[in-house]
Amino acid sequence: MDHSIQDKVSVWLSGNYDEATKHAINGLQPDELADSFYRNLEFGTGGLRGIMGVGTNRMNKYTVGMATQGFANYLKKTYGKEPVSVVIGHDSRNNSRFFAETTAGVFAANGFQVYLFEALRPTPELSFAIRKLGCKAGVVCTASHNPKEYNGYKAYWNDGGQLVPPHDKNVIKEVEAITSVDEVNWTGGEANITLIGRDMDEAYINMVKSLSVYPEVIQAQHDLSIVYTPIHGTGITLVPEVLSRFGFTNVHIVEAQATPDGNFPTVGYPNPEESETMAMGLVMAKSINADILLGTDPDADRVGIGVKNHKGEWVLMNGNQTAVLAFAYLIEARKAKGVAKPNDMVISTIVTTAMINEVAKQNGVACYNVLTGFKWIAELIKEKEANENYVIGGEESFGLMIGNEIRDKDAVSAVALLCEMAAYEKAKGKSLFDKMIELYMQYGFYYEQLISITKKGMNGQKEIAAMMEGFRTTPPASIDGSGVVEMLDYEMQTGKNLLSGETWQLQLPKSNVLQFITADGSKISARPSGTEPKIKFYFSVHTTLASKEAYDDTYAGLDQKIQRIIKDMSLA
């Protein structure tokens, strides 16, 4: 075994670690031992995320405690003698409550006022609570939609958004400076911990209800048939109540997935982006002839929806379609209701469908594109809120952020708004799929696909880095017969016209993302995931849609084009 790995193992076996941890280490097979200790679990710009277990490369009491001490040290340096308060939340995953209590204990032992949610709650409520309580920071223990073996630790700043520069890198430095569990203040501040719960729920629910544009339509369509699954997560704590407060009276819960359970027993992967995860909901939706199906991930920040298409068949909408529907509804409905403001703005991301930009442009609404991640949307709101009115933000990964009171993606408010949208269309004798086709006819038929290539283990990161370097140093000259005219390199912060050689500066922060734009307008983006051992490729193509009757043939043509692009780039 590598000496550096053995040294780390020895520290854990001889140091101030509990006996259960030491026993677990001695029970590991050599390959498991190596993977558990070959590196320190990275505190990235969003926090921690990893497999639970013993070792420096795992989520456990000690890695969580050391991360919290580093975060606490940075907060002390930033605020000096000013009182510091933080909010802690968690989802339904195994050990999430334990990690949340560990985090609360360390912060409290450092003299901070700690507000700890009494039980599991959706991640967006954590963002809301930071702002509501005027706290300096927050943490939610969740691994979002990852498999059951994972857990995580998401760090937030005083605006309710996740950490951005300079705080992200500065916190990372402080976390990396903690080299021993003996440097952690573990206990002694229990009196500084205050439990929060129903009062915060009530404030949050009232905020979500205020986002409704057409409450009178819901009143008329209150019996809209809704199927909802929380996929064993935190959504069950608030989504049914929010739908009831909106006025919906015909809501059906997928009971087999209603109980919070970190083992996620009915799904292999608790992600509403996956059709298998939404399968139980689809069965119920078909059986009762529902109008809409919705599913939220374990920490209720992502939402997936199912609707009947133009043939009466149930289909799952992708994240880009859901985002377009939501953006178009809020832009159009606010205008029709007379509540739109001349300084309204919306925010999308560089890998999300450009159809959003077109919807905003044709409606005279400012649209900004930021890097992937809602922390960048939150940061842009903070930069522009003095002069512009934020309405909605979103990205293709099944996330929406509606209104100005939270600064992270929020599936609870998204579920409510999507149901209101379905009611609005039903009042006109249409479905959300009918509306989607109308939008394609009006703004252009944009079609996107995403593929993820997983590279696990110690060599996975090297393989992903090699793939990115290959595309960066040797960009394709053409893709599917269309010349590549532009390469955007967000890591180098440069754009380049590959025909003329002209270069320019990109005005966004550094991020390891590459984009290729072809002569026919296709866009291909490559981005290593920041939370999982995979590299993601995003494909976007578009054309015009002449009529509703032409939908199927046009869709098939765009789909075939993306399949040719994937094959041409040797990605399948």
β pairing state of 251-253 and 226-229: parallel
> Which tokens sit at 172?
């990372």
* Alpha carbon separation from 56 to 45, 59, 65, 77, 204 (Å, rounded): 18, 8, 12, 26, 37
Per-residue confidence (pLDDT) for residue 37, from 0 to 100:
95
Amino acid at 262: G
* Cβ-contact 229, 411 below 8 angstroms: no
Its pTM stands at 0.95
Domains and CATH numbers, the chain: 39-203 (3.40.120.10), 222-443 (3.40.120.10), 445-568 (3.30.310)
Per-residue confidence (pLDDT) for residue 45, from 0 to 100:
80
Q: What is the DSSP string of 515-561?
A: EEEETTS-EEEEEE-SSSSEEEEEEEEEE----GGGHHHHHHHHHHH
SS3 content of the chain, % helix, strand, coil (to 5): 40, 20, 35
Sign of CA dihedral 25, 44, 68, 200: negative
Give the separation between CA 235 and CA 111, rounded to whole angstroms. 32
Sign of CA dihedral 452, 450, 351, 171: negative
397 is catalytic: no
Strand partners, 155: 139
Give the separation between CA 32 and CA 168, rounded to whole angstroms. 30
* Cβ-contact 115, 129 below 8 angstroms: yes
Q: What is the DSSP string of 140-198?
A: EE--TTS-TTEEEEEEEETTSSBP-TTHHHHHHHHHHH---GGGS--SS-GGGEEEE-H
* Cβ-contact 538, 448 below 8 angstroms: yes
Per-residue confidence (pLDDT) for residue 92, from 0 to 100:
98
> Which tokens sit at 280?
């139980």
Per-residue confidence (pLDDT) for residue 126, from 0 to 100:
98
Longest dimension (CA), the chain: 72
Per-residue confidence (pLDDT) for residue 233, from 0 to 100:
98
Give the separation between CA 537 and CA 552, rounded to whole angstroms. 25
The ranges of the chain with pLDDT < 50 are none
Strand partners, 86: 114, 137
Give the separation between CA 527 and CA 270, rounded to whole angstroms. 22
* Cβ-contact 416, 240 below 8 angstroms: no
- CB-based contacts of 321: which residues, under 8 Å, 6+ apart? 436
Q: Which of 144, 397, 413, 525 is catalytic?
A: 144
SS3 for 403?
A: coil
Q: Which residue has the tokens 């927050």?
A: 138
